[in-house]
Structure 1
Amino acid sequence: MRHVIPVLVVVAALLTVWYAGAVWMNSAWTLDQAAREGRELTVIDIVNDTMMQERPKLPAPHQVGTELWKTVVGTRVSSKRSLVWHGWITLSATAVGFAIGTGAGMALAAGIVHSRAMDLSVMPWAVASQTIPILAIAPMVIVVLASVGVTGLLPKAVIAGWLSFFPVVVGMVKGLRAPDPIQMDQMKTWNASRAQVFWKLRLPASMPYLFASLKVSVAAALVGTIVGELPAGATSGLGARLLSGSYYGQTVQIWAALFAAAILAAALVAIVALIERIVLGRMGMAR
């Protein structure tokens, strides 16, 4: 209970600030409408109106919650108005991109650790690749792949993989280099081959670092997928919901899609954390 109370206090403070911000930002429209109609408003009238505007500048928390409930629980999953349906489209591309990024990151990390040439050549390029804004890369990837007939899930997965591979590379390199020199010397005294050192020592030692980077990577993959849905003019996915909401000024829809994306990201990180606990527990490294 002692751990729950601080969380509830923080949540209550955030909701208070959010409601206050909604009243402040939405009151301009309320006052303007009242002035045009020659009406005088009390503070209560202003607050009530700012809490239920159809297209507010800043939706109130209960408006976002209502939209989430309506589009998650109150709508058929097969409907294109369902956030569950759109979330599944985004999740599919995220999973494929995360797999691509994780595989590429682990392969590059192994090469960097075992090859001085790759360490000096590939690692700087991996770092440089993350300095290019993803918003600049995404349209290029979409257009280039579309020109060769590749559309749908794969272009978004490529963008997701682009964002997700770097944390894996950095974490895996750090983990593969984690064994102490005395442990490496012990393996040499046993005449262990490079492969044996990798599988018996380096890889197990890298697991805590790998899972820490995977938590960052899976969230980055989700961001990459949503960004990839924006320039394509997609009609499905959470990115498409954000795009359509911005086109028609549906701010409540935009915020509901943002919260759905945040919930999905939290769920993905929680799944990785659960797998981490199981794997490290079986290896006797549970924390």
Structure 2
Amino acid sequence: MTRILPVLTILLALLLFWYAMAVHMNAPWQNTLNNRAGLENVPFMDFAQQAWAQDKPVLPAPHQVVSEIWNATIALDITSRRSLAYHGWITLSATLLGFAFGTMLGIVLAVAIIHNDASDRSLMPWIIASQTIPILAVAPMVVVGLGAVGLTGLVPKALISMYLSFFPVVVGMVKGLRSPEAIQLDLLRTYDASPVQVFWKLRWPAAMPFLFASMKVGIAISLIGAVVAELSNASGGGLGVRLLTGSYNGQTIQIWAALFIAAGLAAVLVAIVGGAEKWVNGRMGARA
């Protein structure tokens, strides 16, 4: 209870602040509506309820977002293109595919970097430079370019996710694979261990905590990459498409619902990686 109480207190404070800001930000349009209807001197609570019930509010109230999530998930068939579950599955598929390829690419590059000085000097600067390019500029070029050669659907979105997720894995794995101390490496050399044995028996176990820490970051930004890629292709599905259509039509409640679904997906994915981290590190005797 002592752990839950602070969380509930912060959550309650955020909800109260959200409701207050909803009234403040929706007040100008509500005043316009009341003036058109000939309503004057509306009591504050009635005015607040009006502001919390607008169809296209500047800032939707929390209960409006919850209602939209319910109506767009539980109340709809999962195969409906209006369902957030349908769009969430498309985004999740692209995220997982891109994350898997990004993780594998990051591990391969990290192994090459620590075993070859030329790779370290040549690859690492370019890997760092690749992340200085704004993703909003890259995504449309990738989506349009691959679409021109017939690659559509999950592939362009997965590539954008991979582009974002491989970087933290490379950085984390390089640090992790180099984390063993010199005395540990010297000890294995006295045992006449081969480079392969040193890698699998010392470097790889030592890198596990770094790998999973990087994967937590990678899975979250992989989801961001998938959503950004979807913003460049309104004809497909995904949470990014829901955000885009909501923006075009002024459906702020739809936008916030899609944002919360995306945030929920990211939280679940990070939690899954965290659970895998505890299990793997526990089996290997490493510190999580």
Which residue matches 1:136? 137
Instruction: Check if 1:125 corresponds to 2:126.
Output: yes
Separation (CA, whole Å) in 1 of partners of 2:147 and 2:214: 31
State the 1:200 CA deviation.
1.0
Q: Give the secondary-structure state (helix, strand or coil) at the position aligned to 1:208.
A: helix
Matches within 5 A, 1:149-160: 149-160=150-161
Provide the TM-score with structure 1 as the length reference: 0.98
State the 1:42 CA deviation.
2.0
Separation (CA, whole Å) in 2 of partners of 1:171 and 1:213: 6
Render the CA deviation track for 1:59-82: whole Å, top value 9, x for unaligned: 000000111111121111111111
Render the CA deviation track for 1:129-157: whole Å, top value 9, x for unaligned: 11111000001111111121111110000
Separation (CA, whole Å) in 1 of partners of 2:277 and 2:161: 22
Which residue matches 1:236? 237
Instruction: Check if 1:31 corresponds to 2:31.
Output: yes
Render the CA deviation track for 1:103-149: whole Å, top value 9, x for unaligned: 11000000111111111111111111111110000011111111211
In the alignment, is the contact (CA less than 8 A) between 2:234 and 2:241 conserved in 1?
yes
Separation (CA, whole Å) in 2 of partners of 1:184 and 1:95: 36
Report the AA paired with residue 69 of structure 1.
W
In the alignment, is the contact (CA less than 8 A) between 2:233 and 2:241 conserved in 1?
no
Matches within 5 A, 1:275-286: 275-286=276-287
Q: Give the secondary-structure state (helix, strand or coil) at the position aligned to 2:159.
A: helix
Which residue matches 1:166? 167
Report the AA paired with residue 9 of structure 1.
T
Give the alignment's Cα RMSD to 1 decimal.
1.0
Report the AA paired with residue 252 of structure 1.
I
Which residue matches 1:18? 18
Which residue matches 2:43? 42
Render the CA deviation track for 1:209-237: whole Å, top value 9, x for unaligned: 00000000000100000000011123311
Report the AA paired with residue 100 of structure 1.
F
- The answer to which of 69-78 and 167-176 deviates more is 69-78
Report the AA paired with residue 26 of structure 1.
N
Report the AA paired with residue 173 of structure 1.
V
Separation (CA, whole Å) in 2 of partners of 1:224 and 1:274: 23
Matches within 5 A, 1:30-179: 30-40=30-40, 41-179=42-180
Instruction: Check if 1:8 corresponds to 2:8.
Output: yes
Report the AA paired with residue 108 of structure 2.
A
Separation (CA, whole Å) in 2 of partners of 1:196 and 1:235: 47
Render the CA deviation track for 1:3-47: whole Å, top value 9, x for unaligned: 100000100111111001100000111111222333202212210
Q: Which blocks of at least 5 consecutive residues in structure 1 are unaligned?
A: none
Separation (CA, whole Å) in 1 of partners of 2:81 and 2:232: 20
Separation (CA, whole Å) in 2 of partners of 1:78 and 1:39: 44
Separation (CA, whole Å) in 2 of partners of 1:285 and 1:48: 54
Which residue matches 2:184? 183
Q: What fraction of aligned residue pairs are identical, expressed as a percent?
A: 57
Which residue matches 1:226? 227
Separation (CA, whole Å) in 1 of partners of 2:127 and 2:235: 29
Q: Give the secondary-structure state (helix, strand or coil) at the position aligned to 2:79.
A: coil
Separation (CA, whole Å) in 1 of partners of 2:261 and 2:125: 36
Report the AA paired with residue 209 of structure 1.
F
Q: Give the secondary-structure state (helix, strand or coil) at the position aligned to 1:55.
A: coil
